[in-house]
Chains A and B, each alone.
Chain A
Amino acid sequence: MRVINRPLALVFAAALVAASVIVIIEVIAFMAHAGPVVVHWPAWDRWAARTHWNALVIKVWSVILIIAGAIVLAFELKPPRVTRLKLHSDEKATDAAMTRKGLAETLRAAALDIDGISKAAVTVRRRRARVAATSAARDRAAADALIEPVAEAARQRLENLQMRRPPRLRVRVFPRSR
């Protein structure tokens, strides 16, 4: 989000500068009894003087503004995706954390260390981690028997990391399809 915010902020700031400069130029021109210089504002003035609030154009523009404002607000107020999960640290001035991708990778490695697991995919969110492993065997019973060893290995990794708020773990093991 921050990456997109920068060009968006640049465009917004540039628009503010342009609009402000136009207002300054037009005010100076008006005070000097000259005509409009950059924008033909008397035409806008006449349009606003004859347009009523209940006109269709006002309704349409109001809806456009509501949608545009809601999009910007939703974009800006959406909580940022968690990228670091904090760890306990002995030193007060140290803010140690595990990256989300790093945690996913270490849980994946823990699952792959278990005999009988051929593939594993891990999704880490703010409060939960999901391990979806695939067994080398094709039958369901063999896959189910691997759930507890995989969960135990993943739990062990989480405990070793000394996380401040360890995510809840959910482990599933699927039998190999073919």
Chain B
Amino acid sequence: MHTDRTNRLALTVFGLAVFLAGVFGLIVSTGGFGKAYAHRALFANRVSTYIGAHGDWLWPAAAAGCLLIALIALRWIAALLLSTDRASDITITRGSRKGTTIMHPAALSGALTREIETYHGVDTARARVLGDPGDPALVVTVTATRSADLAALRHRLESDALSHARHALGNPGLPIQLDLNVSNRTPERVS
């Protein structure tokens, strides 16, 4: 999911802010900024005095800032709940006179999966087309059987299946993530 980086960044900033607020509070309360400061009331400082004196414009400005934060947070929630990193229909153009072809990502991933599952030593295969339809990427996960020759299988995957996918999309430089897994199922014995 493409909000993962945003989630991590926002939560890191939040964690850092909370941690620093705690450190500041502890330093002040234990007299780190002087005994006199530690004996002061929480609002007896320059910032609070400034806010008190300029509240007529500062609080509306804070409300406007909060409106912005709320809108950004709502967009974030929408991205978390509704968006997907799966690509939508891909338009393939091969020369201006030959027209265009619309490729549904499920058609590509289905064809690729079916081809890979016919290879010797493959237990299961899964493919997903991700990203922007104009700049898609492919993620292929292949689970090999325990007895499979992984080097030969990988060579065949790269030279046949992945090459076919690139050819189908008319994109020789299509980024592909290939994840090889090995099944933990014991092969059935032939009696």
Contact = CB atoms under 8 A, between A and B. Distances in A.
Interface of A: 2, 5-6, 8-10, 12-14, 16-17, 19-21, 23-24, 27-28, 30-31, 45, 48-55, 58-59, 61-73, 75-77, 84, 87, 89-99, 101-103, 105-106, 109, 157, 160-162
Given A28-B63, A52-B39, A62-B29, A5 B7 contact: yes
Interface of B: 1, 3-4, 6-8, 10-12, 14-26, 28-31, 37-43, 59-60, 62-63, 66-67, 69-70, 73-74, 76-77, 80-81, 143-144, 146-147, 149-151, 154, 158, 162, 166, 172-184
A5 B26 contact: no
Contacts, number: 225
Contacts of A6: 1, 3-4, 7, 80
A160 B151 contact: yes
Contacts of B162: 91, 94
A97 B62 CA distance: 49
Given A13-B80, A98-B180, 6 more contacts: A13-B10, A49-B43, A50-B41, A62-B29, A69-B16, A109-B146
Contacts of B176: 91, 93-95
Nearest to A27: B63
Contact of A9 (B3, B60, B146): B3
Contact of B77 (A10, A49, A72): A10
A72 B19 CA distance: 9
A102 B41 contact: no
Q: SS class of chain A's interface: helix, strand, loop or mixed? A: helix
A65 B42 contact: no
Contact of B80 (A10, A98, A99): A10
Contact of A162 (B14, B29, B151): B151
Given A20-B67, A21-B70, A94 B14 contact: no
A84 B178 CA distance: 10
B38 A53 contact: yes
Contacts of A31: 59-60
Given A99-B181, A102-B181, A54 B22 contact: no
Contact of B41 (A49, A67, A95): A49
A67 B146 CA distance: 46
